[in-house]
Amino acid sequence: MTYSELSDQIFQKQSYLCVGLDTDPRKLPPHLLTEKDPVFAFNKAIIDATADFAVAYKPNIAFYEAQGPRGWESLQKTLDYIPASCFTIADAKRGDIGNTSDLYARTFFDPTAAGLDFDSVTVAPYMGHDSVTPFLAYKGKWVILLALTSNAGSTDFQYQTLSSRTASQKPLFEKVIETAQGWAGPDQLMFVVGATQTSELERIRQLAPDNFLLVPGVGAQGGSLADVSRLGLTKAGGLLVNASRSILYASNGPDFADRARDEAQRLQLEMAGYLTQIQ
Amino acid sequence: MTYSELSDQIFQKQSYLCVGLDTDPRKLPPHLLTEKDPVFAFNKAIIDATADFAVAYKPNIAFYEAQGPRGWESLQKTLDYIPASCFTIADAKRGDIGNTSDLYARTFFDPTAAGLDFDSVTVAPYMGHDSVTPFLAYKGKWVILLALTSNAGSTDFQYQTLSSRTASQKPLFEKVIETAQGWAGPDQLMFVVGATQTSELERIRQLAPDNFLLVPGVGAQGGSLADVSRLGLTKAGGLLVNASRSILYASNGPDFADRARDEAQRLQLEMAGYLTQIQ
């Protein structure tokens, strides 16, 4: 999916909601456990219930990997079921030396390899340019680079201040954002910025005025959709705000899909309001 | 495997060789392609040929993941085939927020999840403490944290100098090594230090005097085994030096396992010499 196609989807649906498919087999509604593939049955119901309100779906690969080979089969079926109009994100946080990153890129981008054909993958920046560029070699595919994450551990390294020969000092995450923009343009590069880090969002938007930001941490992790939207929205949309647990586990009963739909719609309506303000 | 058991293996075998199972289906000897599981057939032959000379095996997860579900089956069979006396490393470079890292830890450490029971997993530090500690909750299992990697991109962020209120400034990788030692002792924590970075190895050994270092980059990437050994060996061994391509692809013919054995033995004999010097 291209930058302008993603932007168009956002304004058509009046939503920048990304539904995180962090599907934990231990949390499924009991009535699904008799299904042949309970994880896929759950995801299918969630996608059916939320597709009117979401522009993106983000399976968290750990949840599938932890099931072994059958988890990868559930992931494959889930990806194939997501409507083509929705942007797909493999939340994998991969990154390795060049020849290995090339294989991770094949895994998620080349359907002749593992069968998967995601639009994008999340990548960890620690190993630098040659750990990221193999993903960018796939035209039309995206890297979503970790910049400032939503967890407590983000302070350990991401906020470390770098010394510089110039007067300006900056934290590591700003260096990551600046450096990575030399590797790709906003048509292939997004950044992960946690919703719990809104105090930094204004500065990040200055550093990356046109890049989409993938923002987790609204909902269960406590980030504010109003703050994220005020500081992060651009004329092209420029945001994908992820919600996972608050949608997936809105109910544990037979009505789980209806309650998931309600929560997705609630977020979409709030987003529609913020989108009106930028136009 | 415990610290002292690993150390004992090193002195018994007179080797700190780790064989990297970066098994690329596109590089297999042609006569194996008729096997039901060519990747496992290759790995089995490599393990049989090198187990006298290696103390550790390190499957690079990307190579299996890129094959989809059957790659995970090859990985499972390979792990089950590695002798119990050898240390096993899932080279996965994972790392995510706590609840997700917990699932990655289950994937590689809890055999009731994905079927895998590795001794250790490589972890990326960018997301900080709560992305690493879920792996450490598994007693007897190890985290091998990326510190200074062997690739060109290591200069992008790992070498960035941090400013400090004290007079001493340090690069990010030193901060990672110092900080992580607050999370676990040398009985559960190793660091990845590329063999191409020997100029830093003396300093790293000062910062982490007792931790094992996993050193990739000898062989195809050009690092010097002599330099790594001189600067990195400790009284307990303290090193796992990885070779992948130089062993796996020593020959592409029917003699591939014999040539792999020759190369593993050549490295072991060189290592035995260096081990003599520290005693």
Look up residue B266 and give its two tokens.
Answer: 């050549």
> Is A174 a residue whose pLDDT tops 70?
yes
pLDDT > 70: percent of chain A: 98
User: Which of A156, A168, A179 best tests the B interface by mutation, with the highest count of B CBs <10 A?
Assistant: A156
Q: Which of A244, A90, A150 is nearest to B97 (CA)?
A: A150
Size of interface A-B (CB pairs under 8 A): 187
CB B120 within 8 A of CB B88: yes
Length of chain A equals: 279
- pLDDT for A196 equals 84
How many structural domains does chain B have? Answer: 1
The alpha carbon dihedral of A96, A98, A101, A103 has a sign of: negative
- pLDDT for B217 equals 85
From A115-124, B46-55, B158-167, the region with the lowest mean pLDDT: B158-167
CB A48 within 8 A of CB A264: no
Mean predicted confidence (pLDDT) in A124-134: 97
Q: Is B58 a catalytic residue?
A: no
- pLDDT for A197 equals 83
- pLDDT for A71 equals 96
Taking the CA atoms of residue A201, residue A204, residue A210 and residue A215 in that order, the dihedral angle to the nearest 10 degrees is -50
- pLDDT for B223 equals 83
Residue type, B206: Q
A69 and B CB contact within 8 Å: yes
Q: Which of A125, A146, A123, A126 is nearest to A135 (CA)?
A: A123
Report in angstroms the alpha-carbon separations of B32 from A260, B49, B228.
50, 16, 35
DSSP B31-65: GGTTSSSHHHHHHHHHHHHHTTT-SEEEEBHHHHH
pLDDT > 70: percent of chain B: 98
A216 Cβ partners below 8 Å, 6+ apart? A20, A150, A192, A194, A195, A242, A244
Q: Predicted confidence band at A278 (pLDDT cuts at 50, 70, 90)?
A: confident
Looking at the partner chain, which of A69, A162, A175 has a beta carbon nearest the beta carbon of B69?
A69
Mean predicted confidence (pLDDT) in A249-273: 97
Give the structural domain span for A200.
Answer: 3-278
State how far the Cα of A97 lies from the Cα of A161, in Å rounded to an integer.
26
- pLDDT for B165 equals 55
8-state DSSP, A197: G
Q: Predicted confidence band at A64 (pLDDT cuts at 50, 70, 90)?
A: very high
Q: Is B206 exposed, middle or buried (0-12, 13-18, 19+ CB in 10 A)?
A: exposed
From A154-158, A221-225, B171-175, the region with the lowest mean pLDDT: A221-225
pLDDT for B245-263, tens place per residue?
999 999 999 999 999 999 9
pLDDT for A187-239, tens place per residue?
999 999 998 888 899 999 999 999 999 999 887 777 899 999 999 999 999 99
Looking at the partner chain, which of A68, A151, A175 has a beta carbon nearest the beta carbon of B128?
A151
CA angle at A61 for the pair A46 and A214, rounded to the nearest 5°: 75
Helices A98-109 and A129-136: crossing angle, nearest 10°? Answer: 30
- List CB contacts (< 8 A) between B129 and chain A: 152-153, 156
- pLDDT for A88 equals 98
Look up residue B230 and give its two tokens.
Answer: 């001189």
User: Is the model more confident about A4 or about A167?
Assistant: A4
B93, B139, B141, B235: which one is catalytic?
Answer: B93
The nearest CA of chain A is from the CA of B25 a distance in Å of 11
8-state DSSP, A34: T
ipTM: 0.95
| Cα A34 from chain centroid (whole Å) | 30
DSSP H helical segments within chain B, as ranges? 3-13, 38-50, 61-65, 69-81, 98-109, 129-136, 154-157, 172-180, 201-207, 225-232, 245-248, 256-278
> Is A40 a residue whose pLDDT tops 90?
yes
With CB atoms and an 8 Å threshold, state whether B114 touches A153.
no
Look up residue B1 and give its two tokens.
Answer: 């495997």
Residue A144's SS3 state is strand
- pLDDT for A165 equals 55
State how far the Cα of B257 lies from the Cα of B251, in Å rounded to an integer.
8
Helices B256-278 and B225-232: crossing angle, nearest 10°? Answer: 40
Q: To which residue do tokens 């989409």 refer?
A: A212
CB A70 within 8 A of CB A278: no
Task: Residue B111: give its domain's CATH number.
Answer: 3.20.20.70
Q: Is B11 exposed, middle or buried (0-12, 13-18, 19+ CB in 10 A)?
A: middle
- pLDDT for A151 equals 93
State how far the Cα of B58 lies from the Cα of B122, in Å rounded to an integer.
10
Q: Which of B3, B227, B244 is nearest to A99 (CA)?
A: B244
With CB atoms and an 8 Å threshold, state whether A114 touches B71.
yes
Q: Predicted confidence band at B69 (pLDDT cuts at 50, 70, 90)?
A: very high
Phi/psi for A249 (5° steps) reads: -115, 30
Mean predicted confidence (pLDDT) in A16-25: 97
Looking at the partner chain, which of A72, A160, A161 has a beta carbon nearest the beta carbon of B69?
A72
pLDDT for B118-168, tens place per residue?
999 999 999 999 999 999 999 999 999 999 999 999 999 999 988 865 556
CB B136 within 8 A of CB A93: no
- pLDDT for B278 equals 85
A220 Cβ partners below 8 Å, 6+ apart? A244, A245, A246
A208 Cβ partners below 8 Å, 6+ apart? A177, A181, A186, A191
pLDDT for B178-200, tens place per residue?
999 999 999 999 999 998 888 89
- pLDDT for B198 equals 87
Q: Predicted confidence band at A108 (pLDDT cuts at 50, 70, 90)?
A: very high
Question: What's the mean per-residue pLDDT of chain B?
Answer: 95
Phi/psi for A152 (5° steps) reads: -60, -35
Report in angstroms the alpha-carbon separations of B222 from B60, B196, B217, B246.
19, 7, 6, 11
The nearest CA of chain A is from the CA of B176 a distance in Å of 8
A148 and B CB contact within 8 Å: no
How would you classify the pairing of strands A161-162 and B189-193?
unpaired
